[in-house]
């Protein structure tokens, strides 16, 4: 059969037997070419990939390919380092960490051990026998001077740093930290910027400079030292960070109306000295991170020999008794790592030792219970078939 | 007017062009499953030619010439088992007056505004009866390239595959053989409406009786199959199960009373073939699995008759192509060829599931389809994983806080000055930034240069930021410069991130060693592969054989016994390689075919009853 419509032929069909029409004399033999248009004729209901392939259509799709432009990034084929945490990697890492950490730990510990520190708590000693500590400290007439004796256990090479240490004093409380005005401290013109400083913001005579609770609670105990009745010089210069001195506190800003209210929180400031020279204030204003902190009081330039008896005279002015705080006086030398802090050294040594121990145990386990990398028999579907 | 070139034996093979006038075309649709044409011969004779599925044609034949009917039926069965798609042809002479009166009704129906389809069907019914059978045709309809491999790969990935087709049972079974969904190792359950018992009842003609009888039959069959299936499952190494059911039985099996049995039976089978299904039944079967079994269902189809099925499933995939774009327009995802389904599921589906970063390359995802099961089993988003992450984050936060604060209690350098709040917090935050970025690197299993850039860039960006910021704000003024002037800063930066990551590192090492995930083993297996960046690899059908397969292929080379079902017509490498050899072209072996032939080895199976 043939058709003159020019309809497209898609599929060649094979008839295995001759067609026989009852009525007729027509007998068709051979290959019958039947017009096929897929769903029209055979009513394909197949849902399994039944689209018939024909060479003509595939050639047309090749001409106008809709494939998106190839780029290694969009096809996720970038060259990559395949980092797999294999046993070799683990053991190497641990050994490397141990090799680096143990010497560092030893060095840090050594440096820390070289630092000599004298710690002397005095708030419980300096009450002059008074039973009511708060009353004693708040009264203007009581005798707040007390003397103490410190013995130097090891030779202390200068400069020797004098710190006061406080406990249970939360300088890191949010409202406390916010209660200051950095602008006011820096610029004379911003003396009125006391918005965040309440309740220590303004007086009837004008704004308080420096305003805020931080400045108001300035530490005011003093210490005097003598060795064998000879006074030791305590330098109070350069105890604050230079950046604070030069930048945060203005050299033309002078204290005004400071501690003039009814409640006195701490030390008073000399009105003739500009803020940038008030190093005690600068040190105090660098709020501490933890409730137990120490701040630099001063510096002894000379040395202290071993077994020297240091006589210290303390003016116990600061009221820590109302909130159960404690006070210490600390003398310390420094090393390249700073003050006495064994934590870094111990931490390094511990971690280094731990890594060494883990490396050894991994090596042992690897030897005793080896698992070959990439062994297909460990794949779960292979394991199941092995079990069966 | 059409012209047909005919060659008559009586006229000694001369070729003439005979004109025929086409008067009416009764178009094809899925409900009628046939199409007809009314034509007028050159000498005025009116003939109706009808072509359609064998069931519908046989229903409309005149009650004579049973001999021809029987022979044709045999031929149809032969064609069906050879895997060819069959049609029946029939004709009828028309009287001019009957034709005229019918034509009026036809024109009326064709131009009606409402229910045109239904009216046309009714009108067609009037004339398509008492037909005289001419014979049958059969065509070979090849499956699309790569379909069998794709189905086999998905089966390995743990996805169960059902075939819903409108073809006859033999054809559908052949397709399934060609796709390796069924092989001779499997136990087949066949629920068919072509049994002699049912045919007897049908011949009686009582519709009510037929319905009742069929329901009983289907119920009995389902019960029997279910019992056998459950018994077979109890034995450890029982064969896999397959269910073959046809449209008429499905109609009764989808009844609420029998639905549960059908669902249980089909869930126990590793593949299900439904033949002679109508589009509505396709949707019903999909909904049955979706709601009854609560599994995620995906439907894929390419024609308008697949639209309801595509929309009934959780995910509908349409294949764009020769059948038009209806399936594509109704679907959630459209692909161009069936074989792209492997990419869609195993690569993109799996990546979307993992969502973090590439752990196994795309080529490996397709080579090991079992890795997909990790997603099916939801191994990565269990509570255990969440708690592990939470635990390590708590551990890290403790390290950050305590290490920095404990070491910050004394002076930090030779000047003896103390750190304040902002120094300590900047120190801690720097450690956090470094640790978090390095943790990301630890999580990635293949690190490209963009990873280095983003991780290094983040840490660098933090430093740049803080170096600038600490000059601008008063509270943190100069903090970082002060910090960076101490040894303490550098010691802490080395110590804290390493300690924080140590926990994760140890956990990963131990877990990968003693309790590895499958994808980790695959990574190890291919850790030394050179970067294969050829795009061709991604869409290849994968004709390479593993050593296992080579061995089994060699075994399969022994003379194979002929099973009635070979899937020959659909995609047989024997067929292909035969012609290829003729043309001198090398046709490579196909892995799925090797497996199929290996399964056929040495097992003479009796022919299946229809």
Where residue B165 falls (left for φ over 0; alpha for ψ -120 to 50; beta otherwise) is: beta
Burial B493-504 (b: 16+ CB within 10 A, else e): bbbbbbbbbbeb
CB-nearest partner of A44 from B34, B93, B166: B166
**Tokens matching residue B531:** 């970067």
DSSP element (H, E) containing B59: helix B54-59
Instruction: Read off the pLDDT band of B211 (50, 70, 90).
Output: confident
Chain A positions in Cβ-Cβ contact with residue B367 (cut-off 8 Å): none
pLDDT value at residue B278? 87
State how far residue B527 is from chain A, nearest Cα, in angstroms.
7
Q: Does A322 touch chain B (CB under 8 A)?
A: no
CA-based nearest distance A377→chain B, Å: 9
Q: Could you give the residue range(s) of every CATH 3.40.1110.10 domain in chain B?
A: 17-139
**Average pLDDT for residues B180-186, to the nearest whole number?**
84
Q: What gap in Å lies between CA B241 and CA A254, rounded to an integer? A: 95
Distance CA B336, CA B359 (A): 27
Q: Where in chain B is the domain with CATH 3.40.50?
A: 147-295
pLDDT at res. A230: 87
8 Å CB contact between B258 and B218: yes
Note the pLDDT tens digit of each residue in B455-486.
999 999 999 999 999 998 878 888 999 899 88
Mean pLDDT, chain B, integer: 82
Q: Give me the pLDDT at residue A330, please.
A: 92
Q: Does A379 touch chain B (CB under 8 A)?
A: yes
What gap in Å lies between CA A229 and CA A310, rounded to an integer?
9
CB contact A205 to B (< 8 Å):
no
| pLDDT score for B143 | 79
**Nearest residue of chain A to residue B86 (CA atoms):** A42
- φ/ψ of residue B499, rounded to 5: -65, -40
Q: pLDDT tens across B409-438, in order? A: 777 777 888 888 999 999 999 999 999 999
Give the pLDDT of residue B606.
47
Supply the pLDDT for residue B186.
85
Q: Say which of B51, B301, B512 has its CB closest to residue A85.
A: B512
Report the candidate in B252, B302, B245 with the shortest Cα–Cα distance to residue B277.
Answer: B245
B505/A337 touch (CB, cutoff 8 Å), yes or no: no
Distances (CA, A) of B330 to B135, B300, B318: 38, 11, 7
Residues 101-130 of A with CB under 8 A from B: 101, 104, 108
Average pLDDT over residues B372-384: 71
The alpha carbon of residue B210 is apart from the nearest alpha carbon of chain A, in Å, by 25
What is the predicted pLDDT for the residue at B515? 80
CB contact under 8 A, B420 and A375: no
Residue B604 pLDDT exceeds 60: no
Cβ contact (<8 Å) for A76 and B358? yes
Any CB–CB contact under 8 A between A186 and chain B?
A: yes
Cross-chain residue pair B521–A374, CB shorter than 8 Å: yes
| Exposed/middle/buried for residue A19 (C-beta within 10 Å: 0-12, 13-18, 19+) | middle
- Determine the Cα–Cα distance for residues A193 and A190; give it in Å rounded to an integer: 5
Q: What is the DSSP code string of A170-220?
A: -TT-HHHHHS--HHHHH-GGGTT--GGGTTSSEETTEE-BS-SHHHHT---
Is the Cβ pair B306, A26 closer than 8 Å? no
Cross-strand bridge partners of residue B315: B298
- Confirm or deny that B302 is annotated as ligand binding: yes
Tell me the C-alpha distance between B479 and B490, whole Å.
15
Report the pLDDT value the prediction gives residue B501, as an integer from 0 to 100: 92
Contact call for B322 and A182, based on CB within 8 A: no
How far is residue B222's CA from residue B260's CA, in Å, rounded to a whole number? Answer: 10
pLDDT, residue B83, reads: 75
For residues A337 and B412, what is the distance between their CA atoms, to the nearest angstrom? 6
pLDDT for B556 beyond 90: no
Q: Which two tokens stand for residue A187?
A: 């610029």
Pairwise CB contact (< 8 Å): B475 & A182: yes
The answer to whether the peptide bond before residue A159 is cis (omega within 30 degrees of 0) is: yes
| Min distance B212 CA to chain A CA atoms (Å) | 28
Residue of chain A whose Cα is closest to the Cα of B451 = A80
Residues A303-324: pLDDT tens digits? Answer: 888 888 889 999 998 999 999 9
Exposed e or buried b per residue across A220-258, where buried means at least 16 C-beta atoms within 10 angstroms of its C-beta: bbbbebebeeeebebeeebbbbeebbeebbbeebbbbbb
Considering only CB atoms, B370 lies closest to which of A54, A172, A381, namely: A381
* Contact between B521 and A81 using a beta-carbon 8 Å cutoff: no
pLDDT grade, residue B360 (50/70/90)?
A: low
pLDDT band at B54 (very low <50, low <70, confident <90, very high): confident
Determine which of B415, B515, B536 to mutate to test the interface with A (most A C-beta atoms within 10 Å).
B415
Q: How far is CA B299 from the centre of its chain?
A: 7
Q: Tell me the CATH number of domain B147-295, given options 3.40.50, 3.30.390, 2.20.130, 3.30.310.
A: 3.40.50
Q: How far is A239 from chain B (nearest CA, A)?
A: 7
Q: Residue B239 has what DSSP assignment?
A: P
Residue B254 burial (10 A CB sphere; 0-12, 13-18, 19+): middle
Which residues on chain A are in Cβ contact (under 8 Å) with B336?
61
Residue A64 contacts B, CB cutoff 8 Å: no
Q: Is the dihedral of CA B149, B150, B154, B157 positive or negative?
A: positive
* Token pair 């008794």 in the structure block, residue: A321
All residues of chain A having their beta carbon less than 8 Å from the beta carbon of residue B413 are: 334, 336, 338
Per the DSSP assignment, residues forming a β-bridge with B86 are B138
Fold of B17-139: Calcium-transporting ATPase, cytoplasmic domain N (3.40.1110)
A and B: number of Cβ contacts within 8 A: 352
Helix, strand, or coil (residue B245): strand
Q: Is the peptide bond before B18 cis (omega within 30 degrees of 0)?
A: no
Q: With a cut of 50, which residues of chain A have pLDDT below it? A: 1-61, 388
Would the annotation count B306 as a binding residue? yes
| CA atoms of B73 and B58, how far apart (whole Å) | 9
Subunit contact A290:B138, Cβ cutoff 8 A:
no
CA distances from B558 to B185, B552, B594, B595, B602 (A): 18, 10, 12, 14, 10
B68/B91 Cα distance (integer angstroms): 14
Confidence at residue B46, expressed as pLDDT on a 0 to 100 scale: 93
Query: How many Cβ atoms are within 10 Å of B223's Cβ, its own excluded?
Result: 13
């Amino acid at each position: 059969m043939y058709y003159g419509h020019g309809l497209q032929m898609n599929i060649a069909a094979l008839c295995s037997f001759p067609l026989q029409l009852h009525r007729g004399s027509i007998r068709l033999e051979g290959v019958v070419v039947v017009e096929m248009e897929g769903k029209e004729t055979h009513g394909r209901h197949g849902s399994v990939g039944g689209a018939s392939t024909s060479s003509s259509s595939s050639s047309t799709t090749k001409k106008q390919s809709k494939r998106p432009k190839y780029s290694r990034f969009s096809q996720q084929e970038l060259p990559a380092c395949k980092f797999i945490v294999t046993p070799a990697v683990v053991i190497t890492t641990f050994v490397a960490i141990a090799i680096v950490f143990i010497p560092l730990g030893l060095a840090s510990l050594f440096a820390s051990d070289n630092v000599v520190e004298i710690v002397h708590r005095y708030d419980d000693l300096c009450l002059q026998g008074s039973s009511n500590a708060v009353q004693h400290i708040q009264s203007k007439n009581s005798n707040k001077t007390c003397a103490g004796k410190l013995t130097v256990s090891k030779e202390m090479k200068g400069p020797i740093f004098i710190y006061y240490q406080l406990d249970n004093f939360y300088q890191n409380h949010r409202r406390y930290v916010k209660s200051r005005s950095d602008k006011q401290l820096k610029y004379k013109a911003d003396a009125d910027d006391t918005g965040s400083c309440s309740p220590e913001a303004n007086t009837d005579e004008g704004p308080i400079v420096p305003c805020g609770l931080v400045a108001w609670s300035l530490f005011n105990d003093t210490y005097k030292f003598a060795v064998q009745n000879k006074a030791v010089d305590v330098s109070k210069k350069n105890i604050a960070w230079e950046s604070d001195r030069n930048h945060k506190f203005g050299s033309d800003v002078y204290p005004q109306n400071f501690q003039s209210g009814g409640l006195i929180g701490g030390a008073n400031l000399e009105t003739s000295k500009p803020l940038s020279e008030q190093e005690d204030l600068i040190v105090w204003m660098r709020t501490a991170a933890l409730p137990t902190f120490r701040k630099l009081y001063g510096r002894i330039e000379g040395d202290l020999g071993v077994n020297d008896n240091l006589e210290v005279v303390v003016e116990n002015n600061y009221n820590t008794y109302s909130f159960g705080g404690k006070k210490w006086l600390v003398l310390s030398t420094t090393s390249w790592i700073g003050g006495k802090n064994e934590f870094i050294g111990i931490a390094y040594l511990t971690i280094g030792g731990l890594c060494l121990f883990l490396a050894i145990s991994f090596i042992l386990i690897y030897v005793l219970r080896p698992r070959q990398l990439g062994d297909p028999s460990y794949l779960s579907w292979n394991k199941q078939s092995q079990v069966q | 007017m059409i012209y047909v070139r005919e060659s008559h034996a009586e006229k000694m093979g001369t070729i003439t062009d005979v004109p025929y006038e086409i008067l009416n075309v009764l178009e094809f649709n899925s409900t009628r499953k046939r199409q007809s044409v009314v034509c007028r011969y050159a000498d005025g004779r009116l003939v109706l030619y009808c072509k359609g599925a064998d069931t519908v044609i046989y229903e409309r034949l005149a009650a004579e010439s049973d001999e021809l009917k029987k022979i044709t039926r045999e031929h149809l069965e032969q064609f069906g088992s050879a895997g060819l798609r069959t049609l029946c042809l029939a004709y009828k002479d028309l009287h001019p007056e009957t034709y005229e009166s019918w034509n009026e009704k036809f024109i009326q129906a064709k131009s009606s505004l409402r229910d045109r389809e239904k009216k046309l069907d009714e009108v067609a019914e009037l004339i398509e009866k008492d037909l005289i059978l001419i014979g049958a045709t059969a065509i070979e309809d090849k499956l699309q390239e790569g379909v069998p491999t794709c189905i086999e790969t998905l089966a390995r990935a743990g996805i169960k595959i059902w075939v819903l087709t409108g073809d006859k049972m033999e054809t559908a079974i052949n397709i399934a053989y060609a796709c390796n969904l069924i092989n001779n190792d499997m136990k087949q359950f066949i629920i068919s409406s072509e049994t002699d018992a049912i045919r007897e009842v049908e011949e009686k003609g009582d519709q009510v009786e037929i319905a009742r009888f069929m329901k009983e039959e289907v119920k009995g069959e389902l019960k029997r199959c279910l019992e056998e299936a459950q018994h077979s499952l109890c034995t450890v190494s029982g064969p896999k199960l397959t269910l073959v059911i046809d449209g008429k039985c499905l109609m009764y099996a989808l009844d609420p009373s029998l639905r549960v049995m059908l669902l249980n039976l089909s869930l126990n089978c590793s593949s299900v073939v439904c033949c002679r299904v109508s589009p509505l039944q396709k949707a019903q079967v999909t909904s049955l699995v979706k709601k009854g079994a609560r599994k995620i269902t995906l439907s894929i189809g390419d024609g308008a008759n697949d639209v309801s099925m595509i929309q009934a499933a959780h995910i509908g995939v349409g294949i764009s192509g020769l059948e038009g774009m209806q399936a594509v327009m109704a679907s959630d995802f459209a692909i161009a060829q069936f074989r792209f389904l492997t990419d869609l599921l195993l690569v993109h589906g799996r990546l979307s599931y993992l969502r973090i970063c590439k752990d196994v390359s795309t080529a490996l995802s397709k080579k090991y389809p079992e890795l997909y099961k990790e997603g099916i089993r939801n191994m990565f988003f269990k509570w255990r994983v969440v708690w592990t992450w939470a635990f390590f984050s708590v551990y890290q936060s403790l390290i950050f806080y305590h290490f920095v604060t404990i070491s910050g209690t004394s002076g930090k350098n030779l000047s003896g000055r103390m750190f304040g709040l902002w120094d300590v917090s900047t120190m801690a935050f720097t450690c956090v930034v470094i640790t978090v970025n390095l943790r990301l690197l630890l999580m990635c299993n293949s690190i490209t240069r963009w990873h280095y850039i983003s991780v290094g860039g983040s840490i660098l960006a933090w430093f740049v930021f803080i170096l600038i910021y600490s000059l601008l704000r008063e509270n943190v003024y100069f903090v970082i410069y002060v910090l960076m002037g101490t040894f303490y800063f550098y010691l802490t930066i080395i110590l804290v991130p390493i300690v924080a990551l140590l926990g994760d590192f140890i956990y990963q090492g131990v877990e990968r060693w003693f309790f590895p995930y499958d994808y980790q083993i695959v990574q190890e297996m291919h850790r030394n592969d050179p970067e294969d960046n050829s795009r061709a690899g991604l869409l290849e059908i994968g004709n390479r054989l593993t050593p296992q397969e080579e061995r089994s292929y060699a075994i399969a080379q022994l003379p194979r016994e002929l099973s009635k079902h070979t899937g020959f017509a659909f995609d047989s490498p024997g067929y292909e390689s035969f012609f290829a050899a003729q043309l001198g072209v090398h046709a490579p072996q196909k892995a799925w075919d090797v497996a199929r032939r290996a399964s056929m080895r040495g097992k003479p199976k009796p022919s299946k009853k229809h």
